[in-house]
Amino acid sequence: MAEFLIYADNHFPPDGEPELQASLRSRERERAGELRAAGNLRRLWRRPGTTGWIALWEAPDATELHDQLASLPMFPYLDITVEPLATHPQER
């Protein structure tokens, strides 16, 4: 399994429909729970002052990583950057 840092800005509009937003958040939490249970979503942080997040992710490769990220219900509203991580000699 490879490790990645994922940076996500959330640009759901401030005047978006509250019901849509509530639905997305609920389903997002559910899907994230599945990815956490599967060992892909290892850590999740809030970027303070924003609705975005940073995650430590594990996936076999970038292709499966993309499929997992694209399965998030909020995905259409996310601006995502992926940073691949290499194991540091000190942790080998």
Give, as ranges, the residues between 62 and 91 that touch its own copies (CB under 8 A): 62-63, 65-66, 69-70, 76-91
Residue in the block written with tokens 């997992």 = 68
Residue 41 Cβ, how far from its own copies at the closest point, in Å?
Answer: 9
In single-letter form, the type of residue at position 92 comes to R
Give, in order, the Cα–Cα distances in Å from 64 to each of 24, 57, 67, 80. 22, 11, 5, 15
* x/- track of binding to its own copies for residues 6-35 (CB under 8 A): x-x-----x--------------x--xx--
Dihedral sign for Cα 60, 36, 75, 82, please. Answer: negative
Residue 78 Cβ, how far from its own copies at the closest point, in Å?
Answer: 8
Residue 24 tokens read as 């997305």
Q: Does 58 bind its own copies (CB under 8 A)?
A: no
CB 6 within 8 A of CB 25: no
Which residues lie near its own copies (CB under 8 A)?
2-6, 8, 14, 29, 32-33, 36, 43-50, 53-54, 56, 61-63, 65-66, 69-70, 76-91
